[in-house]
A and B are shown apart, each in its own frame.
Chain A
Amino acid sequence: MASNGKLTGRQRLGWTVLTVVVLLYALFPVAAILATSFKTQADLGNASFLPSSWTWENYQMILVGDAQGLFLTALRNSIGITLIATFIAVVLATLCAYAIARLDFPGKKIILGSALAVSIFPVISVVTPLFNLWRNIGLYDTWPGLIIPYLSLTLPISIWTLAAFFRQIPWDLEQAAQVDGATQWQAFRRAIVPLAMPGVFTTAIIAFFIAWNDFVYGISLTSTEAARPVPAALAFFTGASQFEEPTGAISAAAIVVTIPVVVLVLLFQRQIVSGLTQGAVKG
């Protein structure tokens, strides 16, 4: 925003109004789902925003009740698969981005280009062939069967963000460390890694969100509770009878899966803060 000087009263008013509008637009659906998750089955169709009587019924159902088996295993799958996919993506992307930012080798542009090409490929167009392939080689409905496609989603963006981040690191530091008596590995670990951490954290969180939010792969490449993640599992919730939509339970589950994301951002807020490299060089 205004980088120099203070805002005038009118400007401030304008920005405030704009911020409120954007916040309302972004958060209203979340609030609506939150409110719905506290409604009773009978209350669902009452056309009012807040429940007429607050209830934990829906949460009980997915955490300890009928839907427990469906939801908790799905949650376990989601957490496990997403964490593993994120970890692998970040490790591979770190090595790859380090090489791209630091070394001069033929094919550098091709790597970046193909990473971009992969990421703009529509997921839906690969799902069907992947479905057949996975069934043939036995990866269908397994954790690796989801982790591998998730890597194709998370790796490109991780490589791009990290490469951009690594390019900003003053490499003089690495050379200074080497002159100071460090081996190449020591120089990397003691001078570069501490500076790279915020970038790696940010990338990890982005990768985590992407994998966590995936629906298409999750629903297409799984058939049982063995590997089905939460977004896909929500579609399999059933109401008490076939005429009842389990809207309340789905809302509750949606809120529960949002919590890790919020917690992650709050936890690593500090690491995400950039500006750590300020003052390393020049003035």
Chain B
Amino acid sequence: MSSITLQNLVKKYDDGFPAVNDISIDIEDGEFIILVGPSGCGKSTLLRMIVGLEDITEGDLLIGGERVNEKAPRERNLAMVFQSYALYPHLTVYENIAFPMRLTKGQFTKEQIDEKVQYAATMLELTEHLDRKPANLSGGQRQRVAMGRAIVRDADAFLFDEPLSNLDAKLRGQMRAEIARLQRELNTTSVYVTHDQTEAMTLGDRVAVLKKGLLQQIASPRELYEQPANLFVAGFIGSPSMNFLPGTVEGNVFSTPLGKIEIPDRAAKAGAGRDIVLAGIRPEFFEDATQLSDVQLSKGTTFTAEISHSEWLGNEQYAYVGYETDERVADALQNLAEEMDADELRTQLVVEVDATSRFRGGDSAELWLDTRRMHLFDPVSGENLTRDEEAGAELTREAREDRRRDAERFAAAKKD
């Protein structure tokens, strides 16, 4: 178990394209870090640089305080779970898990190897499958074998390269919980690459959001969600994603294509004097105004909008409100959509309301907006104008506390 330090890492390919550009991250011992971003953002490349399968063009990589730039993968003592699982098809499950130990001749006795394999198999519920070949296993079982191979290593860190992307949705949920439990139990530093934000939000102590090889923000999932650094992070994190409503701030009034909305002082100050800004509003910041008490209503702003259609999902309900976008921000939004791998720019507001609300397409509805939680962004630079650094840092600090408490809890449980 070790810390991993990335110092200004750069990866340039022969054509000069920087796949990873000047990324610095300090990964603490025992921390679970997620690298997330749309395809082509360099997250997998970064992981492969850490494990040693890609050369580092510039910068330093430290594992446990020691520089390992030039070390071969086998000398770095890291364990990796591949997207394709990379199980050895000619070996049984037992031999697959034992493989790393078989490579270190003489270091382990037969009994030690057996003990470790059995331990990993028990932990992953693979005991009855030890004699089978990978070809005869289900996707989830293969996934667990790949993890077993990592566990027996006593590696300094686990690296995961989109390990769940080949599983179906239900299994993915199970394995996600499994990985989270294992990581806490073993308290091993982990770096996990994914493009799935559910995995990012649920697993990570901290999440690093990458775009085109550049680190956008690294923070706890809560901070990313509540205090995104820029337009890209705000749009990428959250599902359904954040609405971006263009408008102009005049005093405490925000004029949007949907009408005038009253905003709190803090936002008003941030947006003052700007030609146009984008308001980032998450779908759940809205509510059906008819269902709220006066006390709650007074905390936000109410406005009327025409619902184009709605989707009822049982536990929640999405309503869609169309609007004419402002041409001055059309380019910025189109760019953003492309960067996030989305097909086209949406000119409709997604509103999440209580499942009991009776919203129908064509209705004119009273919507309440929690203006305290919305953010204002500069459409050109993408900068978050209303970001509260301290509140964000506090959220990440809390996440670190949570992790330490978890680690102590598991350590105590082990002793018993």
A residues near B, CB below 8 A? 170, 172-173, 175-183, 186, 190-191, 194-195, 276-283
Contact = CB atoms under 8 A, between A and B. Distances in A.
Nearest to B100: A180
Given A178-B72, A179-B78, A182-B74, A279 B166 contact: no
Given A179-B79, A181-B153, A279-B87, 19 more contacts: A172-B86, A176-B82, A177-B99, A180-B74, A181-B103, A183-B72, A186-B103, A190-B103, A194-B88, A194-B90, A279-B89, A279-B137, A280-B84, A280-B87, A280-B135, A282-B84, A283-B138, A283-B139, A283-B166
Given A181-B103, A186-B103, A282-B166, A176 B86 contact: yes
A178 B73 contact: yes
Contacts of A190: 88, 99, 103
Contacts of B166: 282-283
Nearest to A176: B86
A181 B85 contact: no
B86 A183 contact: no
Contacts of A179: 51-53, 73-74, 78-80
Nearest to A283: B139
Interface in B92-151: 99-100, 103-104, 133-139, 142, 149
A282 B84 CA distance: 5
Contacts of B85: 280-282
B154 to A, nearest CB: 11
A173 B73 contact: no
Interface string B245-260: 0000000000000000
Nearest to A278: B135
Given A178-B74, A195-B90, A170 B135 contact: no
Contacts of A182: 74, 103
Contacts of A194: 88, 90
Interface residues of B, number: 33
A283 B78 contact: no
Contacts of B88: 173, 177, 190-191, 194, 280
Contacts of A173: 86, 88
A186 B72 CA distance: 13
A176 to B, nearest CB: 4
A282 B165 CA distance: 10
Nearest to A183: B74
B99 A278 contact: no
CB-CB nearest 5 A-B residue pairs: A279-B135, A281-B84, A176-B86, A283-B139, A280-B89
Nearest to A193: B90
Contacts of A183: 72, 74
Contacts of A186: 103
Given A170-B86, A281-B86, A178 B103 contact: no
A15 to B, nearest CB: 29
Contacts of A181: 74, 100, 103-104, 153
- Residue from B51, B53, B74 whose CB has the most chain A CB atoms within 10 Å: B74
Contacts of A175: 53, 73, 82, 86
Nearest to A173: B86
- Residue from A177, A181, A183, A195 whose CB has the most chain B CB atoms within 10 Å: A181
A173 to B, nearest CB: 5
A196 to B, nearest CB: 11
B90 A180 contact: no
A152 B237 CA distance: 60
A150 B149 CA distance: 46
A179 B85 CA distance: 13
